[in-house]
Amino acid sequence: MKPDTPQFAAPPDAEHRRARTPVICYPPDTLAGPDLEALAAMRAGSVPVKTVTVPARDARCLRVEAGQFFRITSIEGPQVGDLNLWNADDLNERFYSGKTRALHGSHLSTGDRMWSNFPNLRPMATITEDTLDWYGFDRFGGAVHDVIGTRCDPYTGRLLGGTDYHYCCHSNLTRALADFTGWPLDRAEPHVHDVLNVFMCTGLTRDTGQYFMKASPVRPGDYLEFIAELDLIVGLSACPGGDCAEIHTSDIAQCHPLLVEVFDPGPDIRARHHKPEKSAYDGSHGRGS
């Protein structure tokens, strides 16, 4: 049966049903927010200790210790990046974009946290500075740094276009993690997960609810900075879409490298950093302890 048949006609009270007030599913009111002033003081005394340049259409991984800050900067030209995080001591614990979206919203900025997957569900990193915070939401519903998309990948490319493209973010991150760990590609790939789309300007269309992208407002010198709440492996891909104004997963867009810098407040201050505890849920799932 097609939706326009009488069986699917709108009921007489359709507008009343549409007018019902929405309710936030996971109100974060009980979450303890980060102390941004204290973090700013930590950052002020930090010194640069590591720099990694991520080439265009490629990815790199690096280790960041708990209590260190890491900054992702656009250099040379507008460029978006796909960010993965893993617990450096257990790669099974990784960034959970869906729950982060449920807690903080579709796009992240200063004070928001990147949460890990079950059964851990704890902050992995906290955003401490965002030079694109001014953008907000535009008239299309677009905003910057989203957790609603996934990452461009060769499987969807094959599905929709019928060709293979190897320099999409999924493949880039797979190669980078394999190189960092020394694992073969088939062991590294299952650990690559949905991303924070850094600098990417995206939203959902109001009529069909489809995921859209538009030219990123990022310019050279703009950055997104985090504090590592845990010892992390940070993976970043410089997306083959460039600024994602028109196309991604191809060699057509003009692309640029991204810069990752790590800043250390010193071992004494890092030693006082409190790593978030894993979820206190007892894990019984209704079957007893």
Q: What is the pLDDT of residue 288?
A: 78
β-strand pairing of 143-146 with 69-74: unpaired
β-strand pairing of 90-94 with 113-115: unpaired
β-strand pairing of 90-94 with 258-264: unpaired
Phi-psi region of 182 (alpha: psi -120 to 50; beta: other; left: phi over 0): left
CA-to-CA distance for 149 and 203, rounded, in angstroms? 9
Q: What is the pLDDT of residue 199?
A: 98
CA-to-CA distance for 255 and 59, rounded, in angstroms? 13
Q: What is the pLDDT of residue 289?
A: 60
Sign, CA dihedral 279-107-261-169, equals positive
**Is there a contact between 196 and 27 (Cβ–Cβ < 8 Å)?**
no
Return the domain boundaries, the chain.
Answer: 49-271
pTM of the full predicted structure?
A: 0.95
Residuewise pLDDT in 10s, the chain (289 residues): 455 566 789 999 999 999 999 999 999 889 989 999 999 999 999 999 999 999 999 999 999 999 999 999 999 999 999 999 999 999 999 999 999 999 999 999 999 999 999 999 999 999 999 999 999 999 999 999 999 999 999 999 999 999 999 999 999 999 999 999 999 999 999 999 999 999 999 999 999 999 999 999 999 999 999 999 999 999 999 999 999 999 888 889 999 999 999 999 999 999 999 999 999 999 999 997 6
CA-to-CA distance for 235 and 54, rounded, in angstroms? 10
In one-letter notation, the amino acid at residue 2 is K
Backbone angles phi, psi at 137, to 5 degrees: -110, 130
Give the helix/strand (H/E) hosting 176: helix 169-181
Provide CB contacts within 8 A for 99, sequence distance 6+: 115, 117, 121
Q: CA angle, 266 as apex, 64 and 195 as ends, to 5°?
A: 20
Sheet hosting strand 113-115, strand order edge to edge: 47-54, 258-264, 69-74, 223-228, 123-130, 113-115
Tell me the per-residue pLDDT of 42-63, one tens digit each, with 9 for 90 and over: 999 999 999 999 999 999 999 9
Helix axes 169-181, 154-161, angle to 10 degrees: 150
Peptide bond into 265 cis (omega under 30): no
**Is there a contact between 101 and 148 (Cβ–Cβ < 8 Å)?**
yes
The 3 state secondary structure assigned to 55-83 is: CCCCEEEEEECCCCEEEEEECCCCCCEEE
Tell me the per-residue pLDDT of 199-235, one tens digit each, with 9 for 90 and over: 999 999 999 999 999 999 999 999 999 999 999 999 9
Q: What is the pLDDT of residue 78?
A: 97
